[in-house]
Chains A and B, each alone.
Chain A
Amino acid sequence: MKKLISFIVLLALNISLFTVNAVESAKDDVNMVILAPKVELYYFHFTRRCGTCVAIEEETQKALSQYFPEELKTGIIVFKSINIDESNSKALVEKYKIGGQALIVISGSNRADLTQQSFMYAQSNPDKFKQIVKSTIDPFLE
């Protein structure tokens, strides 16, 4: 009998938790419309990274949240950091024909390669680098 009672109590608890979750996620759905990403940024790196390599990821992240906070939130802009040493990166490496470390911006069939500029400026002149990120993305959003 005791077992049965505790089972019923657990069941009731579960159901109530589930409904709360469902209601909350429904709320989220109302507030946020998830759009297909319009601009995708991929930063490819190896497991071991130099100072500049770390700075590239950080500064790209900063540039995005500084200039495109809304687009980042709604998923219009997506930024992914990908470790080439991990086997699950292979598909993307082949898809985008990556020959090592790279920072690329993809928008539909358009592609911009920021690898050079990122290695030049991300650490030594982050403001200039963030401007480059911004001016690369801007035309893709129009």
Chain B
Amino acid sequence: MEFLQSILDNSQYAFVTAFILGLMTTLSPCPLAVNISAMGYISKDIKNKKTVFYNGLIYTLGRAFSYTLLAVIIFLGADQLNISMFLQRWGEKILGPLLIIIGFFMLDVFKLKIPSFSKLSDKISSKNNGTYWGSFALGTLFAMAFCPYSAVLYFMMLIPLTIASPSGIYLPVIYAIATGLPVILFAWLIAYAVGNVGRFYNKIKNFELWFRRIVSVVFIGVGIYFLIYLFV
């Protein structure tokens, strides 16, 4: 952290600052836990390694979408104080229940018959290639899960830098790439560096089903961790 701070102190370029802020965010507790859940989510398609890698990128794209959208809304004149206050107060608190709900959806515990909802749950749990949407949605939601520390980095440091001039609007994307970096690295490792896990596991018939269950349990576990961390 101190090393990152010294870079930040001496940074001449806005994009370097945005990148370092992103790295500092990703190392703080909430984003770390959130990214670990995301790694679990994207690796449930472990049989198809390319998909895992693309999902890592799309998840980061989802984060970039949220961060940029927020910056644009504030740039266009929305009340920054209110938005910041709202997300600082609720971002983190929503996260626990959200993770638990996604976990249960992935376990197929909820079988909703309402068409639009089952479509949504299909997208989230998605046995097929619709996972890309799921990863994107996960990225957009998880980006909003501000912790006390990451909220200050985003609202007090990145936003002023971003909205100082219209050309600064690319900065949240750089910030998002840095916050999603652990997931991208993990996805890349799975896709290109790890040996043929897929082929090996193909032999185990029910592997994917079980893997999905494990991931669901990870989600529920991290969700419970957040609930305890916040409310006990």
Contact = CB atoms under 8 A, between A and B. Distances in A.
Do A and B form a real pair? Answer: yes
Interface of A: 45-46, 48-50, 52-53, 84-85, 97-101, 115-116, 119-121, 124-125
A107 to B, nearest CB: 21
Contact of A99 (B1, B8, B81): B81
Interface in B70-105: 80-85, 88-89, 92
Contact of B5 (A50, A53, A97, A124): A124
A99 B84 contact: yes
B153 to A, nearest CB: 7
B155 interface: yes
Q: State the majority secondary structure of interface residues on B.
A: helix
B74 to A, nearest CB: 10
12 contacts: A46-B88, A48-B230, A52-B149, A53-B148, A98-B81, A99-B80, A99-B81, A99-B85, A100-B81, A100-B89, A100-B152, A119-B152
Contacts, number: 60
Contacts of B155: 99-100
A31 B124 CA distance: 70
Nearest to B88: A100
B148 A116 contact: no
B148 A48 contact: yes
A119 B156 contact: yes
Contacts of A52: 148-149
A83 B151 CA distance: 17
A115 B148 contact: no
A116 B1 CA distance: 15
Nearest to A100: B88
A45 B85 CA distance: 11
B5 to A, nearest CB: 6
